[in-house]
């Protein structure tokens, strides 16, 4: 089985929001690491020129108890709203929108 097939199968098994987060990190020059299913360490370049921080995010509310300090990533949360707004702005600037 090829790596491409493994990657596409894995993307299909995750939620669209998880796929967006990983793709956003890749495109924006950030990094992501899946700690366990639905739990990621995310590092995005800062817009203010300060050093980027690693943020632990989870898409599973039950994982918050196990990962203290993690942020819940779902539609309507500040982190996801910020990433979606930045993605829309990037698309508008590139003329892809």
- In the chain, where are the structural domains located? 3-94
pLDDT at 88 over 80: yes
Structure confidence at residue 83 (pLDDT):
93
pLDDT at 2 over 80: no
SS (H, E, C) the chain: CCHHHHHHHHHHHCCHHHHHHHHHHHHHCCEEEEEECCEEEEECCCCCCCCCCEEEEECCHHHHCCCCCCEECCCCCHHHHHHHHHHHHHHHHHCCC
Give the pLDDT band (50/70/90) at residue 3. very low
pLDDT at 1 over 50: no
Instruction: Give me the CATH topology for the region 3-94.
Output: Dihydrodipicolinate Reductase; domain 2 (3.30.360)
Structure confidence at residue 53 (pLDDT):
83
pLDDT, one tens digit per residue, over 8-29 is 444 445 899 999 999 999 999 9
């Amino acid at each position: 089985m090829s790596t491409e097939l493994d990657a596409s199968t894995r993307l299909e098994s995750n939620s669209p929001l998880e796929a967006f987060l990983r793709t956003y990190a890749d495109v924006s020059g950030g990094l992501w690491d899946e700690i366990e299913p639905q739990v990621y360490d995310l590092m995005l370049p800062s817009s203010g020129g300060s050093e980027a921080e690693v943020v632990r995010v989870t898409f599973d509310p039950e994982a918050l108890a196990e990962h203290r300090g993690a942020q819940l990533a779902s539609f309507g949360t500040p982190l996801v709203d910020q990433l979606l707004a930045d993605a829309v702005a990037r698309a508008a600037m590139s003329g892809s929108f």
